[in-house]
């Protein structure tokens, strides 16, 4: 379908976007791309605020970006604003939007948690007590505290926005990466440092009230559980990046019983990275590092253990390396095109798939 907020979207997409025709001719999908003003920015994470403005981190160029969809124009920097961080090489990596509208983000290079007030443009920073922690994913809890994972030092941190005080909890080895918060627990994936052949395959949850931990093995041995999303009924979805699968499980209600895992194969060497649950349409959308595509699993057609119900939307340019993914209120899919950052091959685009 077309974006009705802009009656010229279809015609513009032929010039500025990437039109994908479905084989049966029933509908078409459009992929639009928006470059950041600063080249080689390697946008990493992204999220929408309550007003529908998209915020994102620029890992390689030390900035937080803001994209206003109603003002943005494909293949231009129109509608995009950047905010430079106070300290060089802070490497803003992940972000979350608090209920009061402030933008909280992890500085993986600066060992800090940052906060941008969108009303004033002022940035506050909070030092993490443990050195070289490399903070990763970050979320606001229902109590208003900010929770974040410490990838290198295997901890989870809690920041009180009122006092700025940070409390840390040990999680054990495995390099925690992705984070979701339920009403009572913080759940996370541990995939190790696969780029140096150090693997982990764990899913864990920590109870807020007691600090008690439960961790479960996600087979096989080198599955690398990576992206994590929460759906209705406290059901977890995760990507198994090196096992080329999406997995679904119910959060364990108590005791130490391993959760029952249902898996869906996404194709050999697809490397699923991150995912978002589309509750209304019954889809799971995910980023696939190979071959630079957005994937969609149709749960009405999916069959566990197979690739049934899968569809891929290939990006215009090889090497885009789509990373994080989210969805707007109209059901459009947005994602970061990070490039092969860890190999020194940068990209600088935000992508949008119009289903």
Enzyme catalytic residues: 273
- Say if residue 291 is preceded by a cis peptide, omega within 30 of 0: yes
Strand order in the sheet with 213-217: 176-181, 185-193, 198-207, 213-217
C-alpha 167, offset from chain centre: 24
Q: Which residues of 137-146 are buried (b: 16+ CB within 10 A; e: fewer)?
A: bbbbeeeebb
Answer for the pair 288, 259: CB distance below 8 angstroms, yes or no: no
Q: Are strands 135-140 and 146-150 parallel, antiparallel or unpaired?
A: antiparallel
CB 206 within 8 A of CB 180: no
Tokens of 291: 């071959």
Q: Are 240 and 246 in contact (CB under 8 A)?
A: yes
Helix or strand or coil: residue 244?
A: coil
């Amino acid at each position: 379908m077309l974006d009705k907020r802009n009656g010229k979207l279809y015609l513009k997409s032929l010039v500025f976007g990437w039109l994908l025709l479905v084989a049966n001719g029933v509908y078409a999908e459009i992929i639009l791309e928006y470059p950041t003003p600063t080249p080689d920015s390697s946008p990493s994470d992204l999220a929408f605020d309550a007003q529908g403005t998209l915020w994102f981190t620029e890992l390689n160029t030390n900035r937080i970006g803001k994209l206003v969809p109603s003002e943005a124009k494909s293949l231009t920097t129109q509608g995009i604003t950047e905010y430079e961080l106070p300290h060089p090489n802070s490497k803003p990596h992940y972000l979350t939007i608090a209920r009061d509208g402030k933008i909280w983000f992890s500085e993986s290079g600066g060992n800090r948690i940052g906060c941008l007030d969108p009303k004033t443009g002022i940035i506050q920073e909070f030092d993490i007590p443990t050195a070289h922690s490399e903070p990763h994913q970050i979320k606001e809890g229902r109590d208003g505290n900010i929770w974040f994972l410490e990838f290198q030092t295997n901890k989870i941190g809690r920041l009180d926005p009122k006092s700025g005080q940070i409390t840390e909890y040990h999680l054990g080895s495995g390099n925690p990466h992705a984070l979701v918060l339920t009403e009572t627990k913080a759940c996370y994936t541990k995939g190790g440092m696969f780029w140096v052949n150090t693997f982990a395959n764990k899913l864990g949850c920590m109870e807020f009230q007691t600090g008690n931990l439960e961790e479960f093995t996600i087979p096989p041995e080198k599955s690398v559980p990576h992206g994590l999303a929460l759906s209705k009924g406290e059901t977890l979805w995760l990507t198994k990046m090196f096992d080329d699968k999406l997995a679904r499980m119910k959060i364990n209600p108590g005791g130490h019983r391993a959760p029952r895992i249902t898996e869906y194969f996404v194709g050999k060497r697809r490397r699923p990275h991150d995912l978002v649950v589309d509750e209304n349409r019954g889809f799971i959308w995910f980023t696939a590092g190979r071959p630079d595509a957005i994937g969609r699993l149709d749960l009405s057609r999916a069959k566990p253990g197979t690739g049934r119900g899968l569809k891929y939307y290939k990006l215009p340019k090889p090497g885009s390396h789509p990373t994080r993914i989210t969805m707007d209120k109209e059901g459009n899919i947005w994602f970061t095109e990070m490039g092969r950052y860890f190999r020194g091959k940068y990209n600088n685009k935000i992508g949008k798939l119009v289903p």
